[in-house]
Amino acid sequence: MEAQIAAALAAASTASDYSQIAKWLKQWQANEPRNLLIRLYAAQLQERTNRLEAAEKNYLELLKQTPSSKIMSQARAGIQRVQQQQAAIKAKALSEAKQVVGGDEVSILAIAAPPASQRQQTLEGIAKVFDLDAYTARLKVPASGFRIHRIGPWGEISFFAQALKQVHVTTLAVQVSKVKALPIFQICYFEAIAPQPIVICKNTAGQLGRLEFSWAEITQQVSGQLPIFEQVADIGHWGRTVHQEKVQDYIQVIDFHLKERQIVLRLCDRLYQYQKGVSLTQQSELNSRILWNHLQAHLQQSIKASHQNDFSRFSKGALEFIDILPPIHPYLDIDRRAPSHWDQAFHLYSGLCYFETSIQKKHKLEQTQNRKSNSLSS
Residue 115 is given by DSSP the state P
* Highest-scoring range by mean pLDDT, 84-88, 135-139, 372-376: 135-139
Strand ranges for 15-88 from DSSP E: none
C-alpha Rg value of the chain to the nearest Å: 29
pLDDT tier at 248, thresholds 50, 70, 90: confident
Instruction: Output 191 or 4, whichever has higher pLDDT.
Output: 191
Give the domain-ending residue among 96, 124, 158: 96
Q: Which of 153, 168, 189 shows the shortest CA–CA distance to 288? A: 189
Give the domain-ending residue among 96, 130, 161: 96
Together in a domain, 161 and 38: no
Phi, psi of 89 (to 5 degrees): -65, -45
pTM: 0.74
Q: Answer whether residue 373 is part of any domain.
A: no
Together in a domain, 91 and 110: no
pLDDT tier at 378, thresholds 50, 70, 90: very low
Phi, psi of 213 (to 5 degrees): -150, 180
Q: Answer whether residue 375 is part of any domain.
A: no
Percent of the chain residues topping a pLDDT of 70: 86
Instruction: List, as own/partner pairs, every contact residues 336-342 make where C-beta atoms lie below 8 angstroms and the sequence separation is at least 24, other chains included.
Output: 336/228, 337/229, 337/230, 337/231, 340/226, 340/227, 340/229, 342/226, 342/227, 342/315
- Contacts with 137 (C-beta within 8 Å, 6 or more apart), sequence order: 123, 124, 126, 127, 130
Together in a domain, 42 and 136: no
**Tens digit of each residue's pLDDT (9 = 90 or more) over 296-314:** 999 999 999 999 999 999 9
Together in a domain, 123 and 267: no
Instruction: List, as own/partner pairs, every contact residues 46-53 make where C-beta atoms lie below 8 angstroms and the sequence separation is at least 24, other chains included.
Output: 47/78, 47/81, 47/82, 47/85, 48/12, 48/13, 48/18, 49/18, 52/82, 52/85, 52/86, 52/89
Q: Answer whether residue 262 is part of any domain.
A: yes
Which CATH number covers residue 129?
3.30.1390.10
Into how many domains does the chain fold?
Answer: 3
Residue 286 is given by DSSP the state -
pLDDT at 227: 93
Together in a domain, 317 and 211: yes
Read off the pLDDT of each residue in 338-351 and give the average, rounded to a whole number.
92
Asked whether residue 264 carries a pLDDT value surpassing 90, the answer given is yes
pLDDT tier at 372, thresholds 50, 70, 90: very low
Together in a domain, 219 and 319: yes
Give the domain-ending residue among 153, 179, 205: 179
The rounded mean pLDDT for the chain is 84
Q: Crossing angle, helix 18-31 and helix 36-48, to 10 degrees?
A: 160
pLDDT tier at 321, thresholds 50, 70, 90: very high
- Which residues face 146 on adjacent strands? 112
SS3 content of the chain, % helix, strand, coil (to 5): 50, 20, 30
d(CA 324, CA 339): 16
Together in a domain, 169 and 186: no
Together in a domain, 228 and 240: yes
> In 3-state terms, what secondary structure has residue 110?
strand
Q: Answer whether residue 140 is part of any domain.
A: yes
Together in a domain, 88 and 188: no
Together in a domain, 122 and 228: no
Dihedral angle computed from the Cα positions of residues 214, 215, 221 and 226, in that order, rounded to the nearest 10 degrees: 80
Read off the pLDDT of each residue in 138-142 and give the average, rounded to a whole number.
91
Task: Please give the residue range of the domain that contains residue 113.
Answer: 106-179
Together in a domain, 196 and 336: yes
d(CA 288, CA 253): 14
Together in a domain, 170 and 189: no
**Tens digit of each residue's pLDDT (9 = 90 or more) over 54-64:** 888 888 888 88
Which CATH number covers residue 87?
1.25.40.10
> In 3-state terms, what secondary structure has residue 197?
coil
